[in-house]
A = this chain, B = another copy of it.
Amino acid sequence: MTFINKLNAAWAANDSLLCVGLDPDMARLPPQFQSAPDGIYQFCTAIIDATADLACAFKPQIAYFAALAAEGQLERICAYLRDKYPHIPLILDSKRGDIGATAKQYACEAYDRYGADAVTVSPYMGSDSVEPYMEWRDRGVIVLCRTSNPGGSDLQFLDVNGRPLYQHVAQLVADKWNANGQCALVVGATFPEELAQVRAIVGDMPLLVPGIGAQGGDIVATVTAGKTGSGSGMMINSSRAILYATAAVGEDFAQAARRVASETRDAINAAR
């Protein structure tokens, strides 16, 4: 099954556009996980178990593992997810960007080592930095387009023949890079009007949308701007708001994560 088909099935099965981001910041984990040798694995798999029926995808952010030399735990988390929840897409958020033989190594890392269904990549180095990933025909390539951070405008909003750069990226991916139907785009939630412009360019292509929750993006505006004609087409990511949801001393972190994930999924669905 291809990434896109798997994503379509997960959207339907869980009635959810919510992508749960796995950004395990050691300083914010419950104390019992900070002291355990495989605490990141234990924490992340508990979050997965608590939210798997509410999510359309899980998205580990590899930087948090790389900083702690915890690639082994990431491998085990990915294996756990593939084994226990094989119908939920696994997105490796690594924003890789390199050419030719090197890009192929990164594709091996994402698809073979971690078994990811899709990986995030940067468009800055162009077509031959993305093509090597396409050799894995059943996997997805999620290209950075418009990011949710303030500095995103430094390049992405530069005017290119009357249109901002990020719209050229959307057009390039829609017209050329998506020839095999393997592509999706990253478009942040903090600029709903720009999300709508990308949606108009790319048709039904899936969009990975960070920026709600801790980053402040508005859910109703985001869904209204980014949904397809059938009210779908988005993986709306929330990481910290779910992972570190515990509101009161004594509240179980997994129950809290489930509560916030459920509320977020429902708020998204109410706006579809």
Q: Please give me the residue from chain B that is nearest to A61 by CB atom.
A: B102
Interface centre among A97, A128, A144, A150 (most CB of B within 10 A): A97
Q: Which residues of chain B are within 8 angstroms of A169 by Cβ–Cβ distance? A: 155
Which stretch, A67-75, A79-87, A197-205, touches the partner chain B?
A: A67-75
Mask of A152-165 contacts with B, CB within 8 angstroms, 1/0: 11111011110001
Q: Indicate whether A221 reaches chain B with its CB closer than 8 angstroms.
A: no
The one of B75, B99, B124 that contacts A122, using a Cβ cutoff of 8 Å: B124
Which stretch, A12-20, A104-112, A251-259, touches the partner chain B?
A: A104-112
Task: Evaluate contact between A149 and B125: CB separation under 8 angstroms.
Answer: yes
Task: Evaluate contact between A155 and B106: CB separation under 8 angstroms.
Answer: no
Tell me, rounded to whole Å, the shortest Cβ–Cβ distance linking A99 to chain B: 4
Mask of A161-200 contacts with B, CB within 8 angstroms, 1/0: 1000100110010000000000000000000000000000
Q: Indicate whether A95 reaches chain B with its CB closer than 8 angstroms.
A: yes
Interface centre among A102, A123, A148 (most CB of B within 10 A): A102
Tell me, rounded to whole Å, the shortest Cβ–Cβ distance linking A81 to chain B: 18
Interface size on A, residues (CB 8 A): 54
Q: Please give me the residue from chain B that is nearest to A75 by CB atom.
A: B69
The one of B69, B147, B150, B155 that contacts A165, using a Cβ cutoff of 8 Å: B155
Q: Indicate whether A25 reaches chain B with its CB closer than 8 angstroms.
A: yes
Q: Indicate whether A127 reaches chain B with its CB closer than 8 angstroms.
A: yes
Q: Indicate whether A126 reaches chain B with its CB closer than 8 angstroms.
A: yes
Tell me, rounded to whole Å, the shortest Cβ–Cβ distance linking A85 to chain B: 23
Q: Which residues of chain B are within 8 angstroms of A109 by Cβ–Cβ distance? A: 63, 66-67
Task: Evaluate contact between A155 and B124: CB separation under 8 angstroms.
Answer: yes
Tell me, rounded to whole Å, the shortest Cβ–Cβ distance linking A107 to chain B: 8
Task: Evaluate contact between B165 and A67: CB separation under 8 angstroms.
Answer: no
Q: Please give me the residue from chain B that is nearest to A123 by CB atom.
A: B155
Task: Evaluate contact between B102 and A64: CB separation under 8 angstroms.
Answer: yes
Tell me, rounded to whole Å, the shortest Cβ–Cβ distance linking A195 to chain B: 17
Interface residues of A (CB under 8 A from B): 23, 25, 61, 63-64, 66-67, 69, 71, 75, 95-103, 105-106, 108-109, 112-113, 122-131, 144, 147-156, 158-161, 165, 168-169, 172
